[in-house]
Amino acid sequence: MIETQIPMLEQALEQALSVWKVENKPQLISITEKMDAIDPFIFFDRGTKWKGKRIFWSSSQESFFLVGVGEAISIDSNNQDFLQTEEQWKSLLKEASIYNAFQVPGTGPVAFGGGSFDPDKKSTKLWKEFKETQFRIPSYLLTITNGETYVTFNAMVASDEDTVSIRQDMLLAKQYLLAEQKGLPAGPSIVQKEEIASDQWKELVEKATNEIKSGQAKKIVLAREMRVDFEEDASLSSILYQLHESQTNSFIFAFENERDCFLGASPERLVRLQDNELLSTCLAGTAPRGVTREEDEKIGAALLADEKNREEHDFVVQMIRNAVEACCEQVHVPSDPVLYPLRNLQHLYTPVQAVLKKGYSILDVVQRLHPTPALGGLPREESMMFIREFEQLDRGWYGAPIGWMDAYQNGEFAVAIRSALLQGKSASLFAGCGVVKDSEPEAEYQETMIKFTPMLSVLGGS
Ligand SMILES: C=C(O[C@H]1C=CC=C(C(=O)O)[C@@H]1O)C(=O)O
């Protein structure tokens, strides 16, 4: 394998150097090859050597994995503007030396990242490692899709000297990352758990319902935090493996920044783009799962018929439809939601399909969609103002878009919910719910409790 890559690497280096000499700016080289099967969790675990710079993404419905280690380059911004990211991404790709004979979605140069939920809310030191917008092009990217495995090597070339270390890095890293390894380390176990200001949160739900009844807004999504401690630093690879095994119908994601890592198992797709076909999904309205099949079906039927949940859901559908119509054609939205079952709860779900108009990109759509009323509220401005002013929480990247895009206009973004910020021996978990005029604080509190469960259980809590 390595032998077949060397001529490609030499060509890529030569090409990058010749562009660099004219343009005098660093050039991206990217080389993709097909491999025998590789375990994504073990690859991630071996990437511990690049600790602080790992990324993970999987879509359980499609057995699709992206695992990145190291950082060839990152596209960051301290004001959240996905369109600015788009410009920088395009400029990086413009003269990049890309050797990818497969051009399968998610191979070649891939930028993975996200941003904060609300750039207008003052951030606290909890999220100090995370930028307002941050996308990483990993040095080594493992892609598993349709049962095939690919590895992409990315690097920036900025001088003749770089080429020596790039050659060495590529070969050594590959040997190291692909060496055999048995099993994953043990998962963490929680020794202490604290719900932050839960009584105040219930009062805030009440305040939001009053605001809604007085006509200031129709829906406001409120979130809260739980802080947990472990005996030892938690092993990320084991947590991701457990999430993947336990959370069906979800996107498992992780973005590591030094000692901190934001990760989760979100059922909510914001948008997927493949061959110009767009899929967005509306997910809002929640009920628990039943213990028996009969009970489960009864709860599901009640959820489908429940006025409060249907209203909460319809707000999301209307907004997503409008945003998608502005940049797509052939927009298709079913008239009624269906149930979307997860391990611990079920949601109302409406898929939105469309074809993206020429001239738009996935980040255009992300910029238009975020925040949907599943995380912000309705109207957008009023609900965001309420959250900004009264919610006692630094959401950071919770509730914001997280995902990937490749060089061929494909990509996928989820809404980063059912998530946690891991910081060595402790973690902050986040959960929220949509408040409408008939919401009851205690019921909403219980709903957030269920939403904490997937993350809590893989972290070794109950
Ligand atoms: C805000 C969250 O969930 C949203 C997504 C789906 C259903 C929701 C709900 O029914 O309230 C929320 O809008 C969360 O899980 O933290």
ipTM: 0.98
CA-closest residue to ligand 1 atom 13: 374
DSSP string across 27-81: EEEEEEEEES---HHHHHHHGGGGTT-EEEEEETTTTEEEEEES-SEEEEESS--
The pLDDT tens digits for 405-436 are: 999 999 999 999 999 999 999 999 999 999 99
**What is the arithmetic mean of pLDDT over 236-245?**
95
- Over residues 156-186, the pLDDT tens digits come to 998 888 888 898 888 888 888 888 777 888 8
Of 250, 222, 88, 69, nearest to 151 by C-alpha is: 69
The Å distance, Cα 390 to ligand 1 centre, comes to 18
Domain residue spans in the chain?
Answer: 2-178, 191-235+268-458
Task: Provide the pLDDT confidence category of residue 462 given band limits of 50, 70 and 90.
Answer: low
Position 3 scores a pLDDT of 58
pLDDT the model gives residue 115: 96
pLDDT at residue 32 in the model? 95
Q: Which of 132, 225, 256, 268 is catalytic?
A: 268
The first and second tokens of residue 63, run together, are: 């057995």
Mean pLDDT of 249-268: 96
CA–CA distance, 381 with 9 (Å, rounded to integer): 50
Q: Distance from the CA of 339 to the center of ligand 1, in angstroms?
A: 14
For residue 364, is it left (φ>0), alpha (ψ between -120 and 50) or beta? alpha
245 neighbors 252 (Cβ within 8 angstroms):
no
How would CATH label the architecture of 191-235+268-458? 4-Layer Sandwich (3.60)
Q: Which residue has the higher pLDDT, 108 or 16?
A: 108
pLDDT tens for each residue of 351-396: 999 999 999 999 999 999 999 999 999 999 999 999 999 999 999 9
- pLDDT exceeds cutoff 60 at 2: no
Q: Return the sign of the alpha-carbon dihedral for residues 133, 347, 59, 87.
A: negative
Asked if residue 387 lies in contact with residue 379, where contact means CB atoms within 8 angstroms, the answer is: no
Which tens digits make up the pLDDT trace of 28-65? 999 999 999 999 999 999 998 887 999 999 997 778 99
Answer whether 327's CB lies under 8 Å from 368's CB. yes
Whole-Å CA distances, 73 to 70, 100, 112, 156, 441: 9, 19, 11, 7, 45
Q: What is the spatial distance between Cα 95 and Cα 38, in angstroms, rounded to a whole number?
A: 31
What residues does ligand 1 touch, defined as CB less than 6 Å away? Answer: 221, 223, 268, 283-286, 347, 374-375, 417-418, 431-434, 451
